[in-house]
Every structure is written in structure tokens, then in C-alpha cells.
Amino acid sequence: MNIFRLLGDVSHLVAIIILLLKIWRSKSCAGISGKSQVLFALVFTTRYLDLFTVFISPYNTVMKVVFLALSYATVYLIYMRFRNSYDSENDTFRVEFLLVPVIGLSFLENYTFTPLEILWTFSIFLEAVAIMPQLFMITKTGEAESITTHYLFFLGLYRALYIANWVWRYHTEGFFDQIAVVSGVVQTIFYCDFFYLYFTRVLRGQAKMSLPMPI
């Protein structure tokens, strides 16, 4: 494992912990897209179906369990524990517009036409777009709390670091995973505009990140 992969995993973990702590401490999930969190839980579920059949390393197994547990804990807090604070009126992205093409691509673009491989491919494609309901919600409300933007920043940083990881592996191992790389690049592109706003507004101390009004 190289440093970019390790830092990417740490960044991903930090993002999820930030979100969980935000919800738990404020006892509110206002501003958080439950739909995005359900999609991320689905990503981890379909990706880690080999948890009990394939052993790579203790680190790999532990991280799989941690990401699964934290993703479902987040969904539980949003839809059960603090459901009264869930902003369903603004969390209105039509997830079927994501799921249908992702399912279709998973059957068309995969390395081996087997159930586990198709589900793994599905998880890769879905992760690339799972954040869209959250970004749509921020666009709809026009602002986001700084703690929510910190979560999104570390989530985007995780994808950027994984791109560096793939570049490193290509140059040192000759390894190239076309499906993962293309999906990762697409996902990172979604964060580019957010990164700009994050560095120019949130890091300057604004309690909330307001989006520019359209002309």
C-alpha cells in the first residue's frame, strides 16, 4: 500500500466521522441528504459482499467492516433517531435517474460477467454519483453549514488522493483499473466547483457557505 492510498482511506474515514459527529452532537441531520447516505450505504454493501469469502489483509477487512458500520449508523441517525430534523422537503433528488443508468452500465461494462463482479462494478459507478443528491440539496437551499462542507471537502480529498494512488500504481506496478479510474475522475470533477468555494469562503471563517446567486 502506498501513501496516497493510505491518506485517501484516512480522508474518507475522517469525512464519515465528521458527518456522524455533526449529527450526534447537534441531534439534528438538517442540511444532510439522507438519499446520498443511503446510496453510500448501498455502495459499501455491494462492494464488500466478499467480506467473508476473500481475505486480503487485516487492514482491508477492518476497513470494510468500519465503512459498512458507519454508513448504516449514519442512515439510522437520519431516518430513525433524528428523523424529525430530516429536511425531506429539500432532499428531493430523483435517485432513480442515477440508479437506472448505473445498473445498465454495470451489466455492459465489467471485467467478468458474474454476480459479484457486476455488483462490484455497480458500486464503483454508483459511488461516482452518490454525492449528487447532497450537492443538489445544497444548491436548492443556497447554503451549507461549515461542518457539512468539511465533510464534503474530505470526501472530495479522498477521491483526489485515490487518483494520485492510481497514477503511482501505474508507474510502479503497471496497474491500471479503467473502471475505477474513470469513475474516480468523474466523481472528483463533481467536487471541483465545491473545492473553489470551500477554499475561498469556508476557510475564511464563514459559518455557512452560501452559493452565488444565478444571474
For residue range 9-58, what is the model confidence (pLDDT) as tens digits?
A: 999 999 999 999 999 999 999 889 999 999 999 999 999 998 988 888 99
DSSP 131: T
What average pLDDT does the segment 189-209 reach? 65
212: pLDDT strictly greater than 60 = no
- The amino acid sitting at 125 is F
Query: How many Cβ atoms from other residues are within 10 Å of residue 116's Cβ?
Result: 14
Query: How many Cβ atoms from other residues are within 10 Å of residue 167's Cβ?
Result: 13
User: Which pLDDT score is estimated for 89?
Assistant: 92
CA angle 20, 26, 29 (to 5 degrees): 60
Average pLDDT of the chain is 88
200: pLDDT strictly greater than 70 = no
In the chain, where the domains are located: 3-205
Which runs of E-coded beta strand occur in 35-137? none
- The amino acid sitting at 2 is N
All 3 cell numbers of residue 51? 467480506
Rounded Cα distance between 70 and 17, Å, is 8
Rounded Cα distance between 163 and 181, Å, is 7
Q: What is the pLDDT of residues 123-175, one digit of tens each?
A: 999 999 999 999 888 888 777 777 778 888 899 899 889 999 999 999 999 88
> Judging by DSSP bridges, how do beta strands 208-210 and 143-145 pair with one another?
antiparallel
User: Which pLDDT score is estimated for 70?
Assistant: 96
